[in-house]
A and B are shown apart, each in its own frame.
Chain A
Amino acid sequence: MSKSIVKWLDNIIADVEGVGYQRKSDRRIRMDVASDTLPTLLELLRGRASYVHLSAITCVDWIEDDEFELVYHLWSYENNTLVSAHTRVPRSPGVYLSVYDIYHPAAFFERDIHEMFGLYFEGSPDMERFILTEWDGPPPMRKDFDAEGWVQRKFNFQDYHPEWLKQLEDEGGGVAIRPEEVRAKKRADKP
């Protein structure tokens, strides 16, 4: 498509209500939509504007706003432009609609987001666990999951006690600053 058509699409979509539109650079567009209008927007982009390639679906956990942000990255082979469609879903019911019937690659990403964040997608063909099949903890990518605390509970490290340290401890010295305590304190102090 020539450049003039792309600019024409810019003007049309920027006028639509409910869609926040921002052209970040020559080949990157950002759109913000409400969560109930996103599937319609994706269908329009795929069917009418040739954005046939779903590159990825990302989920970002904004824990202070108590929301998940879902970002759908779409690429058009004709316009050579990437559209990132952002939407926000509340954290507590944790359910959203799947876009599998619009884009088939969405199945993998929705399955991944379900096991990593706990967000369920209705209508996705396969919500079974793929990577974390034998995992019994909370969804690990959430911001309230403390990975280091989990590691301290479940795993042990080598007991590193070389000769020179033993000598120092015999003389009354020893390790003054323990890195794991510093990290634990830094984590506890974080607001």
Chain B
Amino acid sequence: MTENTDIPVMLERDGDPKRTNPLAHVFDELVRFCRSRSLFMLHYCTGCGAIELPPAMTSRFDMERLGIQPMVTPRQADILLVTGYVSVKTLKRIILTYEQMSSPKYVVGICSCTVNGGMYWQSYATAKKLDEYLPVDLYIAGCMPRPEAVIEGMKKLMADIKSGKASNWQDYYRNYDYYLGNQQHLFGDNWQTPTDVVGEARNYALAGPGTTGEHTALLEQYQRPLEPITSHFRIGETVEPGDEQGDG
């Protein structure tokens, strides 16, 4: 792992920052109010629930009047909407995307498949319990939930953000070992992402006893600089049996 001592840290934090201004909580409330009214939703259609998202976003049910707008890049998005079931292949990309989003970030699990497997509970290819791999702030049940239900859910999320209750993104840093353990159980021991979550946890002063553990030790063991994705282009060549190339 990289040594975090050579990355300049902007301010020294020791637990909660000490606020001297008596109106600090007013400022916090204002920030939370504004944050809850201008959420950017990542436009990533991960499953079949995504078909009810255009009706919710467009003129008939109009989620934009609540301030929720689609955004194409995870770096500037606030909400990761997991619309429907997650297959194992998609789950890897969702975790990569989640780690690329900047805090504070919220995950909303739409459809019953994220809650407990839903209709595909017997399937070998879908993940059953989403909050084992990512911290989830809100579930909206349904198969599929109507656009009105999605908007109700978003309103509840906005109320939670405004009151400060929706802060599960901190849970990812505090209990990273638990989440990493579940991810490794599913993806294999050599699972790694480009993001240094433990370093970020230390930077945000959220690292706790649950951040490192046996699973992060395993991660360290398998750590290697990520190579660029192998090119799959073999123009004019044929593949022999037993010569399978995976993603590594």
- Chains A and B share a contact (CB less than 8 Å): yes
- What residues make up the interface of A, taking CB atoms closer than 8 Å to B? 120, 125-129, 132-137, 140, 147-148, 150-151, 154-158, 160
The answer to whether B241 touches A127, judged by C-beta atoms less than 8 angstroms apart, is yes
The answer to whether A156 touches B124, judged by C-beta atoms less than 8 angstroms apart, is no
Instruction: Select which of B89, B92, B122, B244 is within 8 A of A148 by beta carbon.
Output: B122
The answer to whether B185 touches A157, judged by C-beta atoms less than 8 angstroms apart, is no
State whether A134 and B124 are in contact (beta carbons under 8 Å apart), knowing that A128-B239, A158-B129 are contacts in the complex: no
Apart from A151-B121, A154-B185: 4 A-B pairs, beta carbons within 8 A? A134-B187, A134-B246, A151-B123, A155-B129
B187 surroundings in chain A (CB, below 8 A): 134
Cβ contacts B75-103/A at 8 Å (1 or 0 each) = 00000000000001100100000000000
Instruction: Select which of A120, A127, A128, A156 is within 8 A of B128 by beta carbon.
Output: A156
Q: Would you mind naming 21 contact pairs between A and B with Cβ atoms under 8 Å apart?
A: A128-B232, A128-B239, A129-B246, A132-B125, A133-B247, A134-B88, A135-B88, A137-B124, A140-B124, A140-B125, A147-B123, A150-B124, A151-B121, A151-B122, A154-B124, A154-B185, A154-B186, A156-B128, A158-B116, A158-B129, A160-B116
B interface secondary structure, majority: loop
A129 surroundings in chain B (CB, below 8 A): 244, 246
The answer to whether A156 touches B132, judged by C-beta atoms less than 8 angstroms apart, is yes
The answer to whether B129 touches A136, judged by C-beta atoms less than 8 angstroms apart, is no
Cβ contacts B153-193/A at 8 Å (1 or 0 each) = 00000000000000000000000000000000111100000
* CB closest residue in chain B, given A147: B124
The answer to whether A156 touches B129, judged by C-beta atoms less than 8 angstroms apart, is yes
How many Å from the CB of B236 to the closest CB on chain A?
10
How many Å from the CB of B153 to the closest CB on chain A?
18
State whether A157 and B117 are in contact (beta carbons under 8 Å apart), knowing that A127-B239, A140-B124, A147-B122 are contacts in the complex: yes
Q: Residue B245 at the A interface, CB < 8 A?
A: yes
A147 surroundings in chain B (CB, below 8 A): 122-124
State whether A134 and B123 are in contact (beta carbons under 8 Å apart), knowing that A127-B239, A154-B185, A157-B117 are contacts in the complex: no
State whether A157 and B116 are in contact (beta carbons under 8 Å apart), knowing that A133-B247, A134-B92, A136-B188 are contacts in the complex: yes
B124 surroundings in chain A (CB, below 8 A): 137, 140, 147, 150-151, 154
How many Å from the CB of B47 to the closest CB on chain A?
15
B238 surroundings in chain A (CB, below 8 A): 125
Q: Residue B134 at the A interface, CB < 8 A?
A: no
* CB closest residue in chain A, given B128: A155
Q: Residue B219 at the A interface, CB < 8 A?
A: no
A-B interface, 10 closest residue pairs, ranked by CB to CB distance from nearest: A155-B128, A158-B116, A147-B124, A150-B124, A157-B128, A127-B239, A156-B129, A120-B241, A148-B122, A157-B116
State whether A134 and B89 are in contact (beta carbons under 8 Å apart), knowing that A129-B244, A151-B124, A157-B121 are contacts in the complex: yes
A147 to B187, CA, bound (A): 17
A133 surroundings in chain B (CB, below 8 A): 89, 246-247
Query: Which residues of chain B in 109-163 are interfacial with respect to chain A, using CB atoms and an 8 Å cutoff?
Result: 115-117, 121-125, 127-129, 132
* CB closest residue in chain B, given A126: B239
A135 surroundings in chain B (CB, below 8 A): 88
B115 surroundings in chain A (CB, below 8 A): 158
* CB closest residue in chain B, given A114: B241
